[in-house]
């Protein structure tokens, strides 16, 4: 996994994030759902993609890497330049568009609109996702089965990688995730949400949702990005475990 680097031009990062998000909603999740009925994606080296699935008796997977869509069928992988949603869907062998009646799409759907993807901005997003994914996997193991951990998933509609931890019957459950940014947070960020009321604590600092967040810059400027990320999540887990039922 590469070290986190400076975001650079924030508007360019936002454009790239929206383009990647639209591909997740309208191409990758659609392809996966058409075959399996599921929408959960995963972080992959240098990007994100679908888990492998069988279509027409052949193993298949889709991966977004930078400004390419890599289509793996059997033992052959072909890279297609990402130009529009329509072209990406054609390369994937599907009709573009979010799966019907599964989630309300966040990104606009125009199959012919150019996808604005900057490769340097895409690298910022991919290294952020890889960091968060690896730490969340570690957190999931540290929390143990008693925390009833969910499967770590990259959700196409939110475009964040997240797990749920904690006993819901004791008011301890929350969501732990890594986001590439959204309307309220242009910069990528880490977050922890609490599902029930919690005591006042400066840790729960986000103003857009009930929970805590840590921006990309804080993690990137830390001595250890991995350690800072894990400490942030463990602090949330500790507070949720101590919350009164």
Residue 93: CB atoms within 10 A of its CB come to 14
In a domain, 1, yes or no: no
Higher pLDDT, 245 or 201: 201
Q: Residue 11 pLDDT more than 60?
A: yes
42 and 126 both lie in a single domain: no
- Structure-block tokens of residue 186: 């242009």
Q: Residue 244 pLDDT more than 90?
A: no
108 and 130 both lie in a single domain: no
Q: How far apart are CA 33 and CA 10, in angstroms?
A: 32
108 and 144 both lie in a single domain: no
Per-residue pLDDT tens for 147-172? Answer: 999 999 999 999 999 999 999 988 89
Given pLDDT bands bounded at 50, 70 and 90, which one contains residue 56?
Answer: confident
Q: What is the pTM of this model?
A: 0.95
65 and 136 both lie in a single domain: no
In a domain, 3, yes or no: no
Q: Which of 97, 118, 139 is the last residue of a domain?
A: 118
Q: Which of 83, 118, 153 is the last residue of a domain?
A: 118
Per-residue pLDDT tens for 200-214? Answer: 999 999 999 999 999
pLDDT at residue 57 in the model: 87
In a domain, 173, yes or no: yes
Owning domain of residue 78: 10-118
Of 3-7, 70-74, 148-152, which range is least confident? 3-7
In a domain, 4, yes or no: no
Q: Which of 74, 97, 118 is the last residue of a domain?
A: 118
204 and 189 both lie in a single domain: yes
29 and 87 both lie in a single domain: yes
33 and 144 both lie in a single domain: no
pLDDT at residue 206 in the model: 97
The total number of structural domains in the chain stands at 2
95 and 133 both lie in a single domain: no
Given pLDDT bands bounded at 50, 70 and 90, which one contains residue 1?
Answer: low
Query: Is 64 in contact with 20 (CB distance < 8 Å)?
Result: yes
In a domain, 139, yes or no: yes
Q: How far apart are CA 101 and CA 99, in angstroms?
A: 7
pLDDT at residue 245 in the model: 52
Section 39-52 average pLDDT: 97
In a domain, 61, yes or no: yes
113 and 128 both lie in a single domain: no
CA atoms within 13 A on the CB side of 62: 30
**Cα torsion at 135, 138, 140, 146 (round to 10°)?**
-140
Mean per-residue pLDDT of the chain: 95
Given pLDDT bands bounded at 50, 70 and 90, which one contains residue 32?
Answer: very high
In a domain, 222, yes or no: yes
Q: Residue 61 pLDDT more than 60?
A: yes
In a domain, 2, yes or no: no
SS3 of 234, please?
A: helix
């Amino acid at each position: 996994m590469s070290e986190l680097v400076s975001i650079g031009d924030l508007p360019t990062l936002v454009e790239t994030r929206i383009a990647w998000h639209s591909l997740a909603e309208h191409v990758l999740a659609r392809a996966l759902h058409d075959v399996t009925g599921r929408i959960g994606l995963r972080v992959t080296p240098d990007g994100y993609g679908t888990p492998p699935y069988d279509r027409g008796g052949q193993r298949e997977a889709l991966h977004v890497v930078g400004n390419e869509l890599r289509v793996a069928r059997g033992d052959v992988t072909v890279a297609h330049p990402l130009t529009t949603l329509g072209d990406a869907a054609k390369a994937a062998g599907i009709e573009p568009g979010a799966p019907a009646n599964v989630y309300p799409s966040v990104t606009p759907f125009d199959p012919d609109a150019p996808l604005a993807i900057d490769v340097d901005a895409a690298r910022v997003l991919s290294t952020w996702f890889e960091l968060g994914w690896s730490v969340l996997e570690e957190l999931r193991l540290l929390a143990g089965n008693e925390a009833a951990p969910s499967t770590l998933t990259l959700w196409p509609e939110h475009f964040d990688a997240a797990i749920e931890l904690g006993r819901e019957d004791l008011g301890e459950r929350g969501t732990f995730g890594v986001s590439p940014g959204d309307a309220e947070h242009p910069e990528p960020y880490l977050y922890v949400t609490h599902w029930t009321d919690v005591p006042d604590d400066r840790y729960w600092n986000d103003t857009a949702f009930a929970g805590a967040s840590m921006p990309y810059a804080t993690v990137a400027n830390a001595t250890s990005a991995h350690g800072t990320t894990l400490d942030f999540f463990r602090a949330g887990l500790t507070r949720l475990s101590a919350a009164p039922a």
